Chain A
Amino acid sequence: MRPTPNTDRPTSHNLMRFHFSLLLLVTAGLVVAFAPLPAQPITPQERTFEIDAHQFAYSPSEIKVNPGDTVTIQLVSTDVVHGIYVDDYDISVEADPGQSATLTFVADKPGSFRFRCNITCGAMHPFMIGKLTVGSNNWLYRSIGLAALAVLGMTVSRKQKA
């Protein structure tokens, strides 16, 4: 952040204050982004989802589980061959038309992940996408916090200099 043109040349005192608020902001940002949250102890469960795959969507297209759960996905393709690939978990399974296939994994990474079709199944195939949320989508909340903090910091530092 550099001084804006329509304020006077910053005095060293002002500059120090500016650097200090910048430091405070960056620290606050780091806390928002990386501070560990208290883990809520939830006993892991076994969960099964039947996901119906058809051109070009899954239903249900959003599934939510708790961290540590053992998740079984029964993928049923109702028209052509579809698959499911879970981002970040890097696991996948494919199902032939009218058939079902099973994918079991332990949801040990918390957060929100896209899952997507990994078998070219038609025009909109690259956009055949669903969403798996493990625990709560903390990264989203942290990001929104960062955005709010950034804007607040800029408005305040602007006022201070004015």
Chain B
Amino acid sequence: MKLVLAGVAVLGLSACSPRVALEAPKEPITINLNVKIEHEIRVKVDKDLDALFQDQSELFGGSSQ
């Protein structure tokens, strides 16, 4: 419990520490990785990955999205 309190205190401190002002980027960040795979397979893998993200949301987070 003490450890938890200490952790909360540390979190609290870091939240209050002066923060370098970062300007939010105006355009959305897009990261193009140029993964080269045949289109048909890519579509299939994409589907499999969507299913994976959905079924195993604990591996990817953001289940509420």
A binds B: no
